[in-house]
Amino acid sequence: MKKIISADGTPIAVDVSGSGQPVILVGGAFQIRTDPMMTELANFLAPHFTVMSYDRRGRGDSGDTAPYAVEREIEDIGALMEEAGGNARLFGMSSGAVLALEAACRLPVEKLALYEPPFIVDDSRPPLPPNYLRHLADLLATDRRGDAVEFFMTAAVGIPADMVVQMRHAPFWPAMEAVANTLVYDGTVMGDTMSGHPLPAERWADCTSPTLVVAGEASPAYQRNAVRELGAALRNAKTQSLEGQDHNVSVRLLAPVLLDFFAH
C-alpha cells in the first residue's frame, strides 16, 4: 500500500499490482480497496494491466478533508492518474460507476467501464425520499452509524426492513458501520438521479471516452432500465448484459468482459 496526495492535501491509499496500461478501480458504497470483489478483480486484471485499487476518501486507510465535494473525489482520481503517467482506464461499481463517469467528463480517461450505476429513471421502483440526504446526515451527525446503514439499505437499496434488522447481527455489519460516514458522499455523487425521472443527458455531454455499461440479466428492472438509458444517453457507449447475474456480480464472469473491453 502507498499513499498519493490529492490536490487538497488528502492522502489516498492505493494498492498497485501488475504491469502495463493503468486501470483504476472505483468502488461503490461500503467498498474499500481490500473488498473481496475488488481484490479478486485486481488479481484477474493484473497479468494484463497495472491495476490501482484505492480507498475513496473517508474510507479505509485514506484520509478525509471537510467539506466534502464531488470535485474532490474527482481530484483524487486525477492524482492517481498522474501517478500512473497521466491517463488511465476506469472501472466503476454501482455508485462508484457514477463517480467514474463524472471523472471521465473532466479527466483524460482512455476507456470507461461501469457496472450498474444505481439510477432510478422510471416508476419500476420507488424513488429516494425527498429528505434522503438530510436524514442520512442527521443520523451521522449524532453518530447513529448503524441507523444510517439501515436507512441506506431500506431507502436506497430497497431491502425490506425486517431483513435489514437481521443483517444488523451479521458479521459484516461492523465493517459497513465503519464507512457509514461516506454514504452521504455516495448520495451526493448520485445527486437527483434516483428520483424516478429520466437521466439529465446534458450532465455527461462532455464524456466522450469509449464506454461500456454492464448490467446483470437477473437484476431488478430498474437497474437494467438505468443501464439501457445511460447507454443511449452517452455519445460513445455500448451496453452489455451478463446472464444470470445481479448487482452482486461474479468477478469470474465480469472480469473477462472488462479485459476484452480494456484490451481492444
The answer to whether residues 159 and 38 belong to one domain is no
In a domain, 116, yes or no: yes
Q: Residue 264 above 90 pLDDT?
A: no
**pLDDT-derived band of residue 214, with 50, 70 and 90 as boundaries?**
very high
> What's the rounded mean pLDDT across residues 89-94?
98
For residues 11 and 72, membership in a common domain is answered with yes
Which residue blocks in the chain are alpha helix, DSSP H? Answer: 36-45, 70-84, 95-104, 132-141, 145-151, 161-167, 173-178, 183-190, 221-233, 251-263
Domain tally, the chain? 2
Are the beta carbons of 67 and 27 closer than 8 angstroms?
no
Give yes or no: residues 178 and 148 share one domain.
Answer: yes
Looking at residue 24, its pLDDT comes to 98
In a domain, 126, yes or no: no
pLDDT recorded at residue 79 = 98
- Torsion-angle region of 143 (φ positive above 0: left; ψ -120 to 50: alpha; else: beta): left
pLDDT for 202 equals 86
> Quick one: pLDDT at residue 201?
74
Give the model's pLDDT for residue 230.
97
- Containing structural domain, residue 212: 2-120+198-263
Q: Is residue 127 part of a domain?
A: no
Helical packing angle, 183-190 and 132-141, nearest 10°: 160
Last residue of a domain, one of 158, 189, 220: 189
Query: Is residue 176 in a domain?
Result: yes
Q: Residue 35: what are its φ and ψ, rounded to 5°?
A: -55, 135
Question: Is 124:222 a contact under the CB 8 Å cutoff?
Answer: yes
- What pLDDT, on a 0 to 100 scale, did the predictor assign at position 200? 86
Same domain, yes or no: 185 and 202? no
Which residues contact residue 163 at a Cβ distance below 8 angstroms, ignoring those fewer than 6 apart?
none
Q: Dump pLDDT digits (tens) for 133-167.
A: 999 999 999 999 999 999 999 999 999 999 999 99
Look up residue 236 and give its three cell numbers.
460513445
168 & 214 share domain: no
- Whether residue 125 is contained in a domain is answered as no
**Chain-wide mean pLDDT for the chain?**
97
Q: Are residues 136 and 114 in the same domain?
A: no
What pLDDT does residue 118 have? 97
pLDDT score for 158? 94
User: In this predicted structure, what is the pLDDT of residue 220?
Assistant: 96
Q: Are residue 37 and residue 79 in the same domain, yes or no?
A: yes
| For helices 183-190 and 95-104, angle between their N-to-C axes, nearest 10 degrees | 50
DSSP state of 180: G
* Claim to verify: residue 92 and residue 15 sit in the same structural domain: yes
CA dist 45 and 50 (Å) reads 8
In sequence order, the β-bridge partners of residue 89 are: 23, 111
